[in-house]
């Protein structure tokens, strides 16, 4: 009976010691983990701040990208518009060759024998005749005109130099072949000039042929263009 009592005391004492040891270990473990938890919480808070900053930077960068794309699109449209304008001006100035459908008009001197007492001049093509046909082709929608592969521009003179006709100061030889890109046959045929040459063809045998073609080539202007500006008096 005495042994049983001591055994119980020892068991209870051992259990108490184990409970105290466990409690002390738990408390010490909690005290050791507390700084780590604090550091982890601080790290999480820091990462949240960084993510917030990065998120704001991403939104700002996206806004800048959209703005840059808009500016680039406007620049592209402006560049395309500028390129088209320069191409149009170059074409109008004759600085580039052109190709496309249009009319080919061929004028030539008469092959008939000049009757006695008749004026031989009416049986020949003159500079004024070329001027009339060029103007009629322009009125019929021509965008580019050449005579015997000499490109004509707004400042190109067609003149007589003795018995020779010159265009842009280049001598021409008959037959005179005029190519006009963009000229339409119907309005040209209906023009006063075409009617005159049709009558002169019948009356004097002047060569006058009009041919509508799907593809014509007009070279670039290679002459010297002199421009003058008006000055205030």
Higher pLDDT, 16 or 148: 148
Write the pLDDT tens digit of every residue in 173-184. Answer: 999 999 999 999
- Answer whether residue 85 is part of any domain: yes
Burial class (CB in 10 A: 0-12, 13-18, 19+), 194: buried
C-alpha span between 91 and 151 (Å, rounded) = 11
Q: Which of 92, 108, 127 is where one domain is finished?
A: 92
Say whether both 12 and 86 belong to one domain: yes
Q: Which of 92, 121, 155 is where one domain is finished?
A: 92
Say whether both 80 and 167 belong to one domain: no
Say whether both 42 and 125 belong to one domain: no
Residue 51's pLDDT is what?
56
Say whether both 106 and 201 belong to one domain: yes
Per-chain mean pLDDT for the chain: 79
Residue-number span of the structural domain to which 62 is assigned? 1-92
Say whether both 118 and 198 belong to one domain: yes
Higher pLDDT, 74 or 125: 125
Say whether both 112 and 42 belong to one domain: no
Say whether both 101 and 77 belong to one domain: no
Higher pLDDT, 134 or 3: 134
- Answer whether residue 162 is part of any domain: yes
Q: For the whole model, what pTM was predicted?
A: 0.62
- Answer whether residue 230 is part of any domain: no
Write the pLDDT tens digit of every residue in 103-116. Answer: 999 999 999 998 88
Q: At residue 60, does pLDDT exceed 50? A: yes
- Answer whether residue 34 is part of any domain: yes
The total number of structural domains that make up the chain? 2
Q: At residue 92, does pLDDT exceed 90? A: no
Say whether both 40 and 76 belong to one domain: yes
Say whether both 8 and 108 belong to one domain: no
């Amino acid at each position: 009976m005495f042994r049983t009592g001591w055994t119980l005391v020892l068991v209870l004492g051992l259990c108490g010691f184990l409970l105290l040891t466990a409690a002390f270990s738990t408390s010490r473990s909690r005290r050791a983990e507390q700084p780590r938890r604090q550091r982890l919480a601080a790290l999480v808070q820091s990462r949240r701040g960084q993510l917030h900053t990065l998120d704001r930077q991403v939104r700002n960068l996206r806004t800048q990208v959209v703005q840059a794309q808009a500016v680039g699109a406007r620049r592209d449209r402006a560049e395309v518009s500028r390129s088209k304008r320069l191409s149009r001006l170059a074409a109008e100035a004759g600085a580039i060759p052109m190709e496309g459908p249009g009319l080919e008009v061929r004028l030539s001197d008469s092959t008939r024998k000049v009757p006695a007492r008749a004026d031989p001049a009416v049986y020949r093509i003159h500079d004024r005749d070329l001027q009339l046909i060029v103007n009629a082709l322009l009125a019929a929608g021509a965008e580019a005109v050449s005579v015997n592969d000499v490109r004509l521009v707004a400042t190109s003179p067609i003149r007589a130099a003795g018995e020779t006709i010159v265009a842009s100061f280049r001598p021409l030889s008959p037959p005179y072949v005029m190519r006009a890109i963009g000229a339409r046959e119907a309005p040209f045929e209906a023009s006063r000039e075409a009617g005159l040459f049709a009558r002169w063809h019948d009356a004097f045998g002047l060569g006058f042929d009009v041919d509508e073609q799907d593809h014509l080539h007009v070279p670039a202007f290679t002459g010297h263009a002199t421009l003058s500006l008006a000055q205030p008096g």
